[in-house]
Each structure stands twice: as C-alpha cells, then as structure tokens.
Amino acid sequence: MKVPTLLSAAFLVAALTLSQASSGRDDEMFEFARRKLDKVSTTVRKSWRVKSVAPLPGKRRRVISTGLNNQYLSARMQVNKAMAEAHGMQRTFSDGMIKSTALLAARSKKTTQALSAVGLGLYNDYQKYEDCQKKGSKGCEAPAGIVDQLRSLLGDAGFDDLMSVNGDVSLVFAIDTTGSMGEEITAAKNIIHAIASYPREGNVNYILSPFKDPGTGPVTKHTLINQFKAKVNGLSASGGGDCKELTMHGIIDAINKGVPRRKSPIFVFTDAGPKDEEFSEEYNTENAVGLALDQDSPINFFFSTSPGSCQKPQTFESFQRLIEETEGIGVMFNSGSKISEMSDVVMASLDGMTTIKSGGTGRRGPPSRRVIPPVGGPSFSKRYAIPVDETVDKLILVITVQRNPQFVQLQDPRNIAVAITHRLSYGAVWVINRPRRGTWGLVVPSSVGSHSFKVTSSSRVNIDFDHYFFWTLPRYRSVEIPITHPLKNTLARVKLLIPLKEKLNINSLIVDVIRVDDGTIIKRASLSGITASFHPPSEPFKLRLRGLTASGFPFERISRTVIRAKSTIIRMVYNRNYLTLPSGRARLSVRFAIHNNGPTTHFDYRLTTTVRGITIAQPRASRFPVSLGKYRYFSARITVSSRLSPGTLVPVVVTAKKRSTRKTEASLRVHFIITASRH
C-alpha cells in the first residue's frame, strides 16, 4: 500500500468530500455522547438553564450558565477522543470488559483510562443507536447504555467524581527547597493564605511536591487548606549551591504520586535550572510534558532571580517547552517576595484558563540588565489586538520585556489605558475582573526590546477546543485512524472538538496554523464541518480557532499542544483487551504499525516501561527497513507479574530510532491498566 506523498487535484477533492461526510457522522456521534452524559450527570442536567447577572456600571448585563464547568468539558472531550479511537480500530469490545475496566480505573483514580473506557462503551452504544435508526425503529435512545450502567455501579457521587461534574480540582505546588529559596517558600505560604477565602463551587484538594538536589519529596496530599498550609510552613530552605536542581522529579512525582484531578494547575517555584532534563527513562522532560498533557494540566512557573552566576532559570529550553506545550504561564521576578502578589493568578487557574492570544518578537533569552532610557519617549509601537468575548470572567495578561516595562500599555475597547496590576522588573501582569467586551489593545513600544506575552481567559465555563489528527488507509478511506501528529508531505486532517458550539456562530469559524514563538499566521486551514485540513509546515506550530460568538463578539482561542509534523508515525493496531493487561497470565501480544512518509529508513524498535514486574519480549525482527510511502507491522509480548495489583498503571513507550543516526524518529506512549484476569 502506498501513502500518497504528492496530492493531485482529484485526490484533494476526494479527500475534502470524504472529510465533509465523515465530519457529519462524527458530529452526530459526539452529540450522541453529549446527550447521554449530560442526561445522567446530575449537576449538568441543570446547566442549560441560565441566569442573568447584574452588570457593573457602564457594562452590559451578562447571561451565564449555572451548571457546566471546564473540568466536566475536559472529561467529555477525552470521552470523544476514545470514541474516535474505537471508530478507527473498526471493532467493538465486550460490554463486560468495558464496564469492569471503567470500574477498576475509576476506583483506582486512573481517570483518563476510565474516561477512555466510557468512550469505548459509548461507541458501542452509538453503533446500536445507528442500527436502530436505520431500521426505522422508535425509542432508539431509550435503552440503558454504558453511562447508565456505570452510574449504577459507581453510585451518583462516584460517577459525578469521574466526570468532574462538580468542577472539583487539585492545586499542585512543586517547590524548590534549596538554601536560596527562603523568600519563595514564604511567598507560597502567603498565596495559600490568600486563596483560603476564595469562594468556589467545586472542592479543591492540595498537593505539595518539594524538590532539591539531592533528594526530593515526600509528596503529600491534603483535603483541607489548613493542612496544606501547615505542610508548606514546615518546609525549610537548605542545601543546594550547584545551580541546577531536580525539577522534573518534583513535577513528575507530583502527578504520579499526588494523583491530581483532571485539568488541575501545577505551579513550580524555582530560581534554578533543571538537572534532570534527561535523567532516566522515568524522569525527563518528555515524560513531564506527556503526563501533564494526559491530565490536561497546565504547568506554570514562578521564576525568581538565580543565585550567584547560575544561568537564569527562565532561559532553559526544557522549561520553555513545559510552558508552551501545556499552555502554562511563566512569570519572572527580581525578588522571591514579589511572588506573593500572584495569589489572584493562582485563584483564577482553579476555575480553568484558556489562551486567547500569545506572541511577541519570537526571540528568547535573559533580559538585559542595562536599562536604556528612550530618547524623547518611546519611538514606534506595535499594537496587538486582543478580542475579549462575553464568556471571559477574568482577563490575565503576562508580558516579559528586555527593558523599560513602564512604557507597555494595555488599552480597553475605548482605547483607555488600564492600570498594571503587578509591576515586575522585566515585565508586567494585568488581572482584570469582568473585562469590557470588545477588542482590547496591547501597545508595546520598540524601546522595550524583545518581548513575549500571553493572554488567558479564566471563567467557570471557557470557550475552548481540543483536536486530534487522523489518517486514512489508502484502501479504506472511510476508516479514520487517530494519529499523534500529522505526517510530512501529505495533507493533514484534524478533527475539532468544540464542547460549547452553541455559544459560537459556526459559520464564522476560521482555523489558522500559527507559529509557536510569535503567534503569527503561517497559513489558514480549510474548514468543513468540524474537520480542518492543511499542508503542515516544517516548523513547530499550534492551531488557532477564531470567529464570532453567538452574541456577535469576536473571539480567539489557541490550542494547547505544540504540533510537529514528522515523516514517521507509530500506532497501536491490536490488543485483545485494548488498554488492559491481565495480571499473572500468559504473555499478551500487542501489535503496532509504523508508517514512513520519508525516504527509505532502517529503524530500530524498542518498547520500555519504568514499572517493575513487567517483562517485555521485544519483536524478533526489531531492525528492518520501511520504504517511502509504506508501513510495516511489528508486535511484542508483555507479561505481568502476579505481584502487581489490579489498577496499577503501566506506561509503555514505543520508539523507532533511525539506525544510521540513533535519532528517535517516532515514539508512542501507551498507558495500560492491570486487571485481575483476562476478560
């Protein structure tokens, strides 16, 4: 089978026609899931009622929903992705296997795996619903499906917790506790004191992950904020002196050992760079990014001045990558005590934040210590347009500049300058409650030098979107297979998941491919229904969704992940029990496929895991070539020790390295959950 590398006009028309047909079906499938989940989730059934909120002086009356929240919408999008996976595999799984897996994963707090099982079950239910409709039968939606059955098994509270119906969230602090961090630890205590009085409908639990070098932890989890505060009060700054610390340990342990709720913000306090960017198979930058994305959790950094001659922490590529790829924010302080002022940013993150706009000069590096005064004031200025729609309850803007931050202005839709909320040595932060709707302007004069900024929205219900790329086999173009990234030299097709479509003017939507560094447009994608298509650029990029809300206000949102087109992809094509591994049983065969859209390459394949008690028998032919436009299957056998308890999560990383350079050309992370026996 040959994958087309150059698209002819006829092929392009056929692809777009196919996209239109498939978009309609997927839209119906995801709408089916929404109806089922919203109906059974107790609080969400009230969410479509709205209430009117009295306006501030000079501002229009707002209408907001009373039940939906960002955590629930994130869970629903994870279910949608699992439905797409099931559709791509073109197979159904037994109801018994799905129910037992979802139940086990939910009870052991493996939320992503539980939601994936819910998605498999809903795909089964949707197929039955389609068959019923084709026969012209009545009452096709009436039969109880996976959602009703799981609610019965988990109970009302258990099911609502799985779906994050109440908007419960975790607040995660990973704190560097070396000797130079005394002021920063005090600042963390002050932030906790400030957020104690923050009114919030959902519950919050708290996770603390201290780190230094040597030694990290222990990770602690608390249901009461006073317990969390006492634990932070017990931290003491000591040791260090060699500049770099075990930051990735702090982040990864916070996720793996603290087990935060889905879509929970992580805040890292540090004045040093990471020592463990490539520490081991478990502790490295790639795993930190992957774990955060699995949880849909942004990683935010509060940087303070590094001691002595150490490299400034904000200049490390790995930290920039964590911020960019998880849609977090990075704020730099000249003094650790200034971090205390960030309590309003931390509080806003609990409800959930989404990026409206980011940009700048596209250049990184430490700010200059030399402040250059402007001659006769600022010279020419760059004005960035920032659309603020009616769903934005808080507008947060963070900008970092080389010099002269006092000349940066944020202007509201009337071109009136708004006062800076927090002044920094090399930048500024604005936190604006209930901002005026319309187009704001960020005015940055040339006298500030290089700069970067990020604008985020915080509200209980954000307009947001997610996406997944998909591919079709040449002989089976009706089968859409979700893939981790687009392929080079071929048309990229991506499905958009927009949970609040009813709040948007669908006919106004535009999808842009934008640069990561400065936010400028690379190209505009073609959009048909919920499917966008474009030829991917060679550089890393993100997607931007823009248009008008149903009320007529302009809006913009930027995707979370950084996307890179590659010549090679790996996908899992078969596991008898999907994402489960039976404990203490015979070896289980898992099958993968590698697709190569670049020159003929000899690959070395390897499967690894960090969990003890897992034995992986590598494929016999672990080295073989894959030609241009071809794909090849390979399998491995996995054995689980009986000592590992059901509910244990087993991350397996599949890599394909180019033999001549030893460079990793493609990788795939798969999370299996151990079950008691084979289904």
Domain count, the chain: 5
Average pLDDT over residues 534-552: 96
What percentage of the chain exceeds 90 in pLDDT?
A: 44
Residue 270 maps to a domain: yes
pLDDT of residue 1: 35
In a domain, 352, yes or no: no
Q: State the DSSP string of 267-329.
A: EEEESS-BS-TBSSSSSBHHHHHHHHHHHT--EEEEEEPPSTTPPPGGG-HHHHHHHHHHT--
Q: Are residues 153 and 23 in the same domain?
A: yes
The pLDDT tens digits of the residues spanning 248-295 come to 999 999 999 999 999 999 999 998 889 888 878 789 999 999 899 988
Residue 335 burial (10 A CB sphere; 0-12, 13-18, 19+): middle
Lowest mean pLDDT among 306-310, 380-384, 416-420, 435-439: 306-310
Residues 485 and 394: their CA atoms lie apart, in Å, by: 32
Question: What torsion do the CA atoms of 218, 219, 223, 227 make, to the nearest 10 degrees?
Answer: 40
Last residue of a domain, one of 521, 537, 558: 558
Mean per-residue pLDDT of the chain: 84
State which of 401, 436, 458 marks the end of a domain: 458
The answer on 438 and 582 residing in a single domain is no
- Nearest CA-CA partner of 107 in 155, 67, 69: 155
Between 2 and 514, residue with greater pLDDT? 514
254 lies in the same domain as 217: yes
At 464, the amino acid letter reads D
pLDDT at position 426: 87
d(C-alpha 247, C-alpha 330), whole Å:
15
Handedness of CA 231, 172, 300, 654 (dihedral sign): positive
Q: Is 211 in the same domain as 103?
A: no
Let me know if residue 336 belongs to a domain. no
Q: Residue 81 sits in which domain range? A: 10-44+66-163
* One domain, residues 176 and 258: yes
Percent of the chain with pLDDT over 70: 86
Of 12-21, 578-587, 631-640, which gets the smallest average pLDDT? 12-21
Q: Is residue 310 part of a domain?
A: no
Is 355 a member of any domain? no
pLDDT bracket for residue 307 (50, 70, 90): low
Predicted pLDDT of residue 202 = 79
Compare 181 and 358 and report the one with higher pLDDT: 358
* Average pLDDT of span 430-445: 95
Q: How far apart are CA 559 and CA 562, in angstroms?
A: 8
Average pLDDT value for residue range 402-421: 94
pLDDT digit string, tens, across residues 70-86 = 999 999 999 999 999 88
pLDDT tens-digit map of 146-165: 898 999 999 988 999 999 98
